Structure 1
Amino acid sequence: MIVSNVSLSGCADFNSALCAGAGEGHLGGGSYRTTLTPTGNLVVAVCLGFIGTFGLINNLLVLVLFCRYKMLRSPINLLLMNISISDLLVCVLGTPFSFAASTQGRWLIGERGCVWYGFANSLCGIVSLISLAVLSYERYSTMMAPTEADSSNYRKISLGIIMSWAYSLIWTLPPLFGWSHYGPEGPGTTCSVDWTAKTANNISYIICLFIFCLIVPFLVIVFCYGKLLSAIRQVSGINASMSRKREQRVLFMVVIMVMCYLICWLPYGIMALLATFGPPGLVTPEASIIPSVLAKTSTVINPVIYVFMNKQFYRCFQALLQCEAPRRGSSLKSSSKVPTKAMRGVAGTGPRRTNNFLFMVASLGHPAATVPQLGLSCEPTIDITKAPSSDNKPVVVSLVAHRDG
């Protein structure tokens, strides 16, 4: 159950005894507990300890790889670093305090600490969600670009990173200034936006937060990766024998990304809506803590999906463990000035459009591929045997599938 804000309004120091006494009052026709049982607190503490430890290790390792290997310092990987930084901040600024509160069965850092905890975790969580949407849009827009991707242009990605933090601030600052507010959540061992106040002020904020910080990023991710998958299928139609396995792997990666997004964040969103619009007592303390823990697991899952299942990062990770230079999985012999067509060129006729589209799909990742970012198993080897000339002769592009050793 999400404890009614009224029952906790007098618990300035979040003392468990005081909160329990307030929570046991008769509010809205029901009797409320403010804490889990000792066993429940222990289970939550173990889960949070696991999430905090592995989230910290995974995201730190991502940052180490990015700093250690120059080949990883591409614009799109910079966006992955932004996701890892926001997840790392959650592991440092949030999880330890909720872990300590679960071990003691009460909140430990006071009312102002609760407000700070709610703001910091909401800010970093929304940054992570928006960054995932920006990442999917970047991959989609690169696929639709009329020219070869510029691997040295950091301006667009930098704007995306700044936008993710600014967008998150737009939605996390209002509770500090009166549009809803931050307070105890669930059994009182975590803090977030007050989901239970039935005022128009609070309900309007929660509806906007749900739509613009959960639904909109999800729709962007589904749309962009759907378009990317459609592009891969078109390439499969051109060279089916080479691309079938690649298409299957891209489909698998897209499904994993979408499913993990839903598993981590949809239960939390549903719980918030039920607590906001449902009758008092509809959400129990045990039920309310589960979505909160699931949302925090994104700090562990994101590095695995978006980084360690990326072959480029994985090779660098292997090299780091073996203290050797990372091996390359593909070769590229081309000029960055070779023009390419947009994806719509596939629908046209003529070998030039077909070859140019193949080149575009294959060359998106030089040096950090858009399609290989999704973990493709058949990577392209591109051989430009003829440069573009004034007589508009087609560029010859060959894609050779090979296995990663």
Structure 2
Amino acid sequence: MIVSNVSLSGCADFNSALCAGAGEGHLGGGSYRTTLTPTGNLVVAVCLGFIGTFGLLNNLLVLVLFCRYKMLRSPINLLLINISISDLLVCVLGTPFSFAASTQGRWLIGERGCVWYGFANSLCGIVSLISLAVLSYERYSTMMAPTEADSSNYRKISLGIILSWAYSLIWTLPPLFGWSHYGPEGPGTTCSVDWTAKTANNISYVICLFIFCLIVPFLVIVFCYGKLLCAIRQVSGINASMSRKREQRVLCMVVIMVMCYLICWLPYGIMALLATFGPPGLVTPEASIIPSILAKMSTVIDPVIYVFMNKQFYRCFQALLQCAAPRRGSSLKSSSKVPTKPMRGAAGTGPRRTNDFLFMVASLGQPAATVPQLGLSCEPTIDITKAPSSDNKPVVVSLVAHRDG
């Protein structure tokens, strides 16, 4: 166990068990690797302090907005809250300990603390990744479903949240029971899965973790948002002037999401594979700490991308700062139960069929409707369920699609 802090040969001011572990292959794959310099530890501490502070504040703010404004309590937003909770737990259960270790240049809470740190951070990190994949699938399935999304049905989203935690537990519990193990990482100021052990037991776990907890979520995200963009472009073909801005905004957000996912997690995955399959000492302490910091940076970035770029959350954030009621923005609506009146000069003047339905492309923040299989005759309609108001709000426009068969 890690029970003392003594200076060994070449290990001044560093934990004895960590230095011994380096000689046993837990840190350097069979050779001792020096820790960061005092300047290096200071730089890492500053980065971790920034990440911990802003990650905590950003995710707490998300929870405050969700609790304060009833309009945000929709099923899809529960997934965003799940992401914020997992990121918040990383900021509370992980970052303070690695920050303290960096300021002191050594691990401070012992071997059991190292195992707990590695397990808790891996659990919350994978929950965040899986939740992003579930979120993208939910948006995709909502848009492609043949019926309107039920804004009061929390069952499906609740199952998705339970799935994210159960899936994460499936992949983070095995190291506690002998399939690989948690231990010091990089310079010894953080802990994670042992990437450097060259045993078949450890290598098999690292491969499975890389595939099922990094590659699979990424492929789901790319596939679902790719389909979403294709659907938006099809709608743009029906009414280009109305949908062009929406398409550009969604495309921008999708590119940002994918790029940030890759920036935060791909370097960490590559570092893990290099440490596992590369020669001993290939990944230096200086090189290994950078991907670890980038992965933790996701706790700051996720709330910004998935929440504060969401117009609904942003309006509530503005209302919170101004101590006012949130402003309601105009949006495309969908409801098969809402009576509509065709616009003058609209194409398709024949009688309505019983299976007509309204559709639109849901915003990334809160899907409100669905996109059917296209290849239908469509006509723009005006929602007449609301009386004209004096604030000159734009008329809500939707699209009515008639099935040909």
- Normalising by structure 2, report the TM-score: 0.83
Q: 1:172–1:18: structure 2 CA closer, same or farther, 3 Å change rule?
A: closer
SS at match of 1:259: helix
Aligned length: 405
* Partners of 1:365 and 1:371 within 8 A in 2: no
Deviations 1:153-176 (A, max 9, x none): 000000000000000000000000
Q: 1:340–1:119: structure 2 CA closer, same or farther, 3 Å change rule?
A: farther
* Partners of 1:233 and 1:247 within 8 A in 2: yes
Q: 1:328–1:283: structure 2 CA closer, same or farther, 3 Å change rule?
A: same
Please state how far the C-alpha of 1:230 moved relative to its aligned partner.
0.5
Please state how far the C-alpha of 1:35 moved relative to its aligned partner.
1.5
* Partners of 1:83 and 1:127 within 8 A in 2: yes
Q: Aligned partners of 2:127 and 2:111: how far apart in 1?
A: 24
SS at match of 2:262: helix
Q: Aligned partners of 1:376 and 1:257: how far apart in 2?
A: 31
Q: Gaps spanning 5+ residues in structure 2: where?
A: none
SS at match of 1:14: coil
Please state how far the C-alpha of 1:197 moved relative to its aligned partner.
0.6
Please state how far the C-alpha of 1:324 moved relative to its aligned partner.
0.4
SS at match of 1:341: strand
* Partners of 2:8 and 2:16 within 8 A in 1: no
* Partners of 2:2 and 2:15 within 8 A in 1: no
Please state how far the C-alpha of 1:121 moved relative to its aligned partner.
0.1
* Partners of 2:54 and 2:300 within 8 A in 1: yes
Q: Aligned partners of 2:25 and 2:16: how far apart in 1?
A: 14
Deviations 1:308-335 (A, max 9, x none): 0000000000000000000111167775
Please state how far the C-alpha of 1:138 moved relative to its aligned partner.
0.1
Q: 1:65–1:36: structure 2 CA closer, same or farther, 3 Å change rule?
A: same
* Partners of 1:16 and 1:106 within 8 A in 2: no
Q: 1:332–1:294: structure 2 CA closer, same or farther, 3 Å change rule?
A: closer
* Partners of 1:79 and 1:135 within 8 A in 2: yes
Please state how far the C-alpha of 1:245 moved relative to its aligned partner.
1.6
Please state how far the C-alpha of 1:88 moved relative to its aligned partner.
0.1
Q: 1:209–1:195: structure 2 CA closer, same or farther, 3 Å change rule?
A: same
* Partners of 1:14 and 1:106 within 8 A in 2: yes
Deviations 1:152-206 (A, max 9, x none): 0000000000000000000000000000000000000000000011111000000
Q: Aligned partners of 1:345 and 1:204: how far apart in 2?
A: 65
* Partners of 2:2 and 2:17 within 8 A in 1: no
State whether structure 2 residue 229 is matched by structure 1 residue 193.
no
SS at match of 1:382: strand
Residue 204 of structure 2 corresponds to which residue in structure 1? 204
After alignment, is 350-359 or 235-244 more displaced?
350-359
Q: 1:70–1:320: structure 2 CA closer, same or farther, 3 Å change rule?
A: same
Q: 1:238–1:295: structure 2 CA closer, same or farther, 3 Å change rule?
A: same
* Partners of 1:102 and 1:189 within 8 A in 2: yes
Q: Aligned partners of 2:57 and 2:122: how far apart in 1?
A: 21
RMSD of aligned residue pairs (Cα, Å): 8.2
SS at match of 2:316: helix
Please state how far the C-alpha of 1:224 moved relative to its aligned partner.
0.2
Q: 1:147–1:36: structure 2 CA closer, same or farther, 3 Å change rule?
A: same
SS at match of 1:385: coil
Please state how far the C-alpha of 1:19 moved relative to its aligned partner.
1.7
SS at match of 1:363: coil
* Partners of 2:143 and 2:369 within 8 A in 1: no
Please state how far the C-alpha of 1:355 moved relative to its aligned partner.
11
Q: Aligned partners of 2:5 and 2:277: how far apart in 1?
A: 15
* Partners of 2:52 and 2:91 within 8 A in 1: yes
After alignment, is 368-377 or 12-21 more displaced?
368-377
Q: 1:373–1:322: structure 2 CA closer, same or farther, 3 Å change rule?
A: farther
Q: 1:275–1:382: structure 2 CA closer, same or farther, 3 Å change rule?
A: farther
Q: Aligned partners of 2:224 and 2:46: how far apart in 1?
A: 37
Q: 1:250–1:47: structure 2 CA closer, same or farther, 3 Å change rule?
A: same
Q: Gaps spanning 5+ residues in structure 1: where?
A: none
Q: 1:187–1:236: structure 2 CA closer, same or farther, 3 Å change rule?
A: same
Q: 1:349–1:7: structure 2 CA closer, same or farther, 3 Å change rule?
A: farther
Q: Once superposed, which parts of structure 1, at least 4 consecutive aligned residues long, lie more than 3 Å away?
A: 1-14, 20-31, 331-358, 362-382, 384-405
* Partners of 1:35 and 1:285 within 8 A in 2: yes
Q: 1:33–1:365: structure 2 CA closer, same or farther, 3 Å change rule?
A: closer
Deviations 1:200-221 (A, max 9, x none): 1000000000000000000000
Please state how far the C-alpha of 1:74 moved relative to its aligned partner.
0.1
Deviations 1:101-126 (A, max 9, x none): 00000000000000000000000000
State whether structure 2 residue 122 is matched by structure 1 residue 126.
no
* Partners of 1:148 and 1:338 within 8 A in 2: no
* Partners of 1:355 and 1:394 within 8 A in 2: no
After alignment, is 183-192 or 11-20 more displaced?
11-20
* Partners of 1:180 and 1:202 within 8 A in 2: yes
Deviations 1:330-366 (A, max 9, x none): 1677756469999999999999799967624369987
After alignment, is 6-15 or 253-262 more displaced?
6-15
SS at match of 2:204: helix
Please state how far the C-alpha of 1:15 moved relative to its aligned partner.
1.6
> Share of identical aligned residues, percent?
97
Q: Aligned partners of 1:65 and 1:316: how far apart in 2?
A: 7
After alignment, is 66-75 or 373-382 more displaced?
373-382
Q: 1:296–1:404: structure 2 CA closer, same or farther, 3 Å change rule?
A: farther
Deviations 1:58-93 (A, max 9, x none): 000000000000000000001100000000000000
